Amino acid sequence: MSRFFVACSLTVSLLWASAARAGDVDDCVAASEGGQKLRQKGQLREARDRFQQCTRAVCPSLVQRGCNTWLNEVVALLPTVTLSAVDGQGKDLVDVTVSLDGKPLVQKLDGKAVAVDPGVHVFRFESNGQGVDERVVITEGDKARKVSVRIGESNGGSGNGNGNGNGNGDPHDGDKPKDKDKGGHSPFPFVVGGIGVAALGTGIVLYATGSSDFPSECDRDTKTCANGNAEANSRATSADNRMRAGVWTMIIGSVLLVGGAVWFFVEPTEPKSSKGAAKTPPKWLTVRPELGLGYAGVNGTF
């Protein structure tokens, strides 16, 4: 009789263990599939918890290996934030409760990193009956992202206490200097000078080609050629015209180049947004070319 009961007990135990193991395998597979779906939805915290379930020793080795790989990937992508708050005098607060999108997150600030899902979130900090909301965009892979607020008014103002940092040490957008308020030279002196350089180079080329094409049998002063050669006279006239055009082009280029340089040095460079600064008296610029026998130059006053 006793042997019969022992046999029955062993049979029931084996069947129970087999059923329990089958249930564990089903739970492992379900946790693996659920974790992948949650990961695709961006719910990385819940996906991490599911993958941890299917890495247990009761799960099949194949499922364990897959879940371990996915768990490591999710942990690397899962963002974390560090929460802090100060009072109106700038002193750190500890007894602060924080909720994330209306759901409780932490009951006290201890400086430890807290895992959150990526996305746009609203953190609400509450202490001594006062509350502050802070809207933050959290991206995948962010680690120890700082979210800090001020709760309560400071002694010298009546602000709402909202923090304006972006968590990475950059100043608030409103505090950044605008490019249009910065001083410096305008591009116009460089444009004028560049045109002058181009004109000067063109004039040199015109003069050099005209001079090289001028017939050797013709006189450069009288523009007449020996024996009244009509073809030589025509070539001489064309070459002389090019030389004259080259001279005038060089003169114009020199004027523009000098004008651009003078413009560069006399142009005011104070920031446009500076208020109360003494205005610089206007500077008058006069540039004029000078021609003479055997020379060409530029004279200017400012």
pLDDT per residue as tens digits for the range 217-268: 777 776 677 766 677 777 778 878 888 887 888 899 788 878 878 877 777 7
Q: What is the pLDDT at residue 16?
A: 40
pLDDT in tens, 88-130: 899 999 999 999 999 999 999 999 999 999 999 999 999 999 9
Is the predicted pLDDT of residue 183 greater than 80, yes or no?
Answer: no
Strands 145-150 and 80-86: parallel
Which residue in 203, 110, 206, 123 sits closest to 162, CA to CA?
A: 123
| pTM listed for this prediction | 0.44
Output the CA torsion 199→201→202→206 (10° steps).
140
pLDDT value at residue 131: 93
Alpha helix segments (H runs only) across 41-60:
44-53
Q: What is the pLDDT of residue 109?
A: 95
Domain boundaries, the chain: 2-77, 80-176, 181-272+281-301
Give Cβ neighbours of residue 191 (< 8 Å, ≥ 6 apart): 260
User: Rounded to the nearest 5°, which phi and psi values hold at 201?
Assistant: -65, -40
Distances (CA, A) of 251 to 263, 287, 299: 18, 12, 12
Computed over every residue of the chain, the mean pLDDT equals 77
Per-residue pLDDT averaged across 188-210, rounded?
82
**Using CA atoms, how far apart are residues 92 and 152, in angstroms rounded to an integer?**
12
Please tell me the predicted confidence (pLDDT) of residue 276: 46
What per-residue confidence (pLDDT) applies to 147? 95
SS3 156: coil
**Are the C-beta atoms of residues 149 and 96 closer than 8 Å to each other?**
no
Position 233: which residue type? N
- So what's the pLDDT on residue 277? 47
CATH superfamily ID and name for 80-176: Carboxypeptidase-like, regulatory domain (2.60.40.1120)
pLDDT band with cut points at 50, 70 and 90 for residue 168: low
Contact (CB, 8 A) for 147 and 82: yes
According to the model, what pLDDT value does residue 293 have? 44
Maximum Cα–Cα distance for the chain, whole Å? 152
